[in-house]
Amino acid sequence: MQKSDLFQFVCESAKQAALLSTAADTLEWDERTGMPHSAGDYRAEQVSYLRGLAHQKLTDGRYRESLQELLEQISDETASIPFAITISKLHRDLQRNTKLTTQLVEQMAASTVRGQQQWDAARKSNRFCDFKRILNEIIQLKRESAELLRQGTEKNCYEALLDEYEPNATIEQIDQLFSALRPPLVDLIQRIQSASKRPDPTLFRRNLSLEKQKQLSVHVAEAIGFDFKRGRLDETSHPFCTTLGPNDCRILTRYDQNNLGTGLFGTIHEAGHGMYEQGLPEESFGLPLGSYASLGIHESQSRMWENQVGRSAAFWRWITPKLQDLFPKQYANVGEQEFYFAANEVEPSLIRVEADEATYNLHIIIRYDLEKQLINGDLEVDDLPDAWNLRYEQDLGVKVQQDRDGVLQDVHWSAGLFGYFPTYTIGNLIAAQLFSKAEESIDHIDKQFSRGNFQELLNWNRIAIHRHGQSMNSDEIVREATGNELSTDFLVNYLRAKLEALYQL
């Protein structure tokens, strides 16, 4: 076959696998939003079957041979052109996929569908014991996968799983980042705890109509740039974003009648993910150039919009009148500065997704440490709640009273997402570094936010991040966008500048 014919075949195969995968994603979206409870077992079979077909498509002999032939035609001179990028990235995926059997892929898919259902039920009933069996099953499957994936590499089991979300990252690199970040965060948190100036702790914890909170979420998501002609917003038990096609991005949040921040910040966070997906090259959907670079980059987009934008003084200058209109009884006499301070309250707490910026990464470090132990066999599932509770008391000074606020609060492990958690902190670091550069590049960015104009920041991210797809790795994207290697300094300096001023330290 001619080179062009081989390339077309490979790309069509990848796109056909994407059709199968997004069909499975659609079924999983339905499972998380409205599937009847009794439909779970058959849904697991459906998703398992589709994931297996996608895996077969991407490990087929002709596909492998075609990719190998095309790979041999790439030289140093052509390595940066779209053809070469596409082939090299697809070949990297092929190397991972061929190490896994279709049977193992199907088993994992079925177990994680059931796992998410059983996690949800256990969380609602506040009974970790109801989740233990399926979690053990998922961990065993992830260990088996990791042992296969690490073959022929220098990676250990955890790194083999991490590689799916943050390609080529190592435990040593993450440990170095976390070790550099933790001391200044702990110091800042301790100084804030002794500060005399405090925000109103009840401001976000007033009884608010859920229907009006939903109106607010749609208004904010649309204002910052989420395209509702190409996506939608729904409710679920744990917020997430999933893309079901080039013009079909689903974001999901949850609401609490007595906590404004739950729905608002959850929506902004997931809209950040969604805008990244909507900004990827549409014509390359299903191929590397139309896919996100890494989960760290993905999280940088959600965390930037949630924190650098959503917790800024300018954002609250814009949104305060809207809150006063929607909730006049609760907020008629509350000013923008009061909202801004409350949005940046620093208080060690139990729930990661509702944690403030200063303590958030401590939540991630705990999960990172525990999931490494689970995968390595140094921690048994039976002992997980006690280990979790101890770390929360030691690291954050808070006591876990019930499983739903502790080990059952996150969906990730039930979905088999071991190695995912570190990308949240990587995303926080990248977000601060990117936003620092965006502030230099965009004139009067605060004034624009205060008028409800977020388009220039979105455009900046489109150029700096979204358009690249996987044409560069995450380190290259950060370096090109900011002129610096990834550093903890930007996040630490950003938090110190904002919080020291607010708390008058």
Report in angstroms the alpha-carbon separations of 167 from 55, 87, 119, 154, 234: 19, 16, 28, 14, 31
pLDDT of residue 1: 66
Is residue 79's pLDDT more than 80?
A: no
Is residue 76's pLDDT more than 80?
A: no
Is residue 3's pLDDT more than 90?
A: no
Average pLDDT rounded to a whole number, residues 181-197? 97
DSSP state of 259: B
Residue 270: active-site member: yes
pLDDT of residue 30: 96
pLDDT of residue 252: 97
Selection from 105, 174, 192, 236 nearest residue 367 by Cα: 174
Q: Which domains does the chain have, with CATH numbers?
A: 3-154 (no CATH), 171-502 (1.10.1370.30)
pLDDT of residue 483: 97
pLDDT in tens, 394-424: 999 999 999 999 999 999 999 999 999 999 9
Percent of the chain with pLDDT strictly greater than 70: 100
Sort 334 into a burial class: Cβ within 10 Å, 0-12 / 13-18 / 19+.
middle
pLDDT in tens, 273-305: 999 999 999 999 999 999 999 999 999 999 999
- Please give the mean pLDDT across all residues of the chain: 97
Average pLDDT rounded to a whole number, residues 447-473? 97
Provide the 10 A C-beta neighbour count for residue 321. Answer: 11
pLDDT of residue 77: 72
- What is d(CA 14, CA 335) in angstroms, rounded to the nearest whole number? 53
pLDDT in tens, 338-355: 999 999 999 999 999 999
| Active-site position among 28, 31, 270, 306 | 270
- What is d(CA 396, CA 487) in angstroms, rounded to the nearest whole number? 24
Is residue 451's pLDDT more than 90?
A: yes
